[in-house]
């Protein structure tokens, strides 16, 4: 979804623990976006809704998103004040952002970050679950580090419900799928998933359903 040659990145600045959650601050950086345009920052929620976050953003010479201060741009505590994005999240929850030009809505960059990933590794391979809904009723499975086009055996289990199937890694050694882990008659539970190849077999679990979402 990025424009041609565009890369958006979030760099963690700090973490602060409050009584009930951890606040993570990110700075926003863009490579390949014109520096003479004005942008709006949007956040894409888990339910698919889009929130307008900050308008009037510009990029400094290094590509960092700032509030420059002149008319038509956002204003910070000082000229060219870097944008501080403060978020909180649950385990495996993605935070998704889009930086879009205000003039034509066509120049854009997208980025996603997981402040608290639910991930495991085995040898060169990494496996992680990503929330698709707050309760994990839809969960995305992402894996990387496999041999190009490797044959994969995927096993998942929720309660006594088991699913075994085969797939192939992509040419870059990655694998992606979407799971609906819920079991009939159960309000919540745990799913265990393993993605196995000839060289590695990462395995992890995630919670889903009622009361499964908790801020870290």
- Which CATH number is 46's domain given? 2.60.40
| 183: containing domain | 118-208
Q: Is residue 168 part of a domain?
A: yes
pLDDT of 139 higher than 90 = yes
In a domain, 215, yes or no: no
d(CA 144, CA 214): 26
Instruction: Show the tokens assigned to 35.
Output: 């520096």
How far is the C-alpha of 175 from the C-alpha of 169, rounded, in Å? 5
- The mean per-residue pLDDT over the stretch 168-188 comes to 97
Question: Tell me, what DSSP letter sits at residue 21?
Answer: -
Dihedral over Cα of 215, 11, 26, 1: its sign? negative
| Residues 202/120, Cβ–Cβ less than 8 Å | yes
Beta bridge partners of 40: 100
* Distances in whole angstroms, Cα of residue 10 to Cα of each of 34, 37, 80, 112: 18, 20, 18, 8
The gap between the terminal CA atoms of the chain, to the nearest Å, is: 29
| pLDDT at residue 1, as a whole number | 72
Residue 38 and residue 108 in one domain: yes
| Percent of the chain whose predicted confidence (pLDDT) is above 90 | 94
Task: Give the tokens for residue 159.
Answer: 């309660």
How far is the C-alpha of 197 from the C-alpha of 150, rounded, in Å?
7
Provide the number of structural domains found in the chain.
2
In this prediction, residues 19-40 reach a mean pLDDT of 96
> Which pTM was predicted?
0.91
Task: Provide the pLDDT for residue 49.
Answer: 92
29: β partners: 9, 64
Other C-beta atoms closer than 10 Å to the C-beta of 33 total 23
**For residue 25, what are the β-bridge partners?**
14, 86
Nearest to 99 by CA among 167, 27, 188, 162: 27
The mean pLDDT of 172-179, rounded to a whole number, is 98
Q: Are 19 and 215 in contact (CB under 8 A)?
A: no
- Shared domain check, 163 and 122: yes
pLDDT at 104 over 90: no
Judge if 132 and 198 occupy the same domain: yes
Mean pLDDT, the chain, whole residue set: 96
Average pLDDT over residues 34-40: 95
Residue 87 has pLDDT above 80, yes or no: yes
Position 1 in a domain: no
Do 122 and 99 have their domain in common? Answer: no
């Amino acid at each position: 979804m990025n424009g041609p040659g565009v890369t958006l990145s979030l760099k963690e600045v700090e973490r602060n623990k409050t009584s009930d959650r951890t606040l993570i601050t990110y700075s926003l950086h863009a490579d390949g976006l014109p520096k003479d345009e004005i942008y709006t920052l949007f956040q894409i929620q888990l339910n698919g809704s889009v929130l307008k976050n900050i308008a009037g953003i510009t990029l400094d010479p290094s590509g960092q998103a700032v509030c420059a201060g002149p008319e038509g741009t956002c204003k910070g505590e000082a000229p060219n004040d870097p944008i501080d994005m403060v978020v909180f999240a649950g385990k495996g929850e993605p935070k998704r952002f889009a930086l879009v030009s205000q003039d034509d809505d066509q120049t854009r960059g997208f980025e996603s970050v997981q402040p608290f990933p639910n991930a495991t590794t085995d040898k060169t391979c990494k496996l992680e679950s990503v929330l698709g809904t707050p309760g994990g009723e839809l969960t995305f499975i992402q894996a990387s580090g496999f041999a190009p086009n490797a044959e994969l055996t995927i096993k998942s289990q929720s309660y006594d419900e088991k699913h075994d199937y085969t797939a192939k890694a992509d040419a870059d050694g990655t694998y992606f799928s979407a799971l609906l882990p819920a079991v009939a008659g159960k309000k919540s539970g745990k799913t265990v998933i393993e993605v196995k190849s000839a060289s590695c077999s990462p395995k992890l679990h995630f919670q889903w359903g009622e009361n499964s979402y908790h801020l870290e």
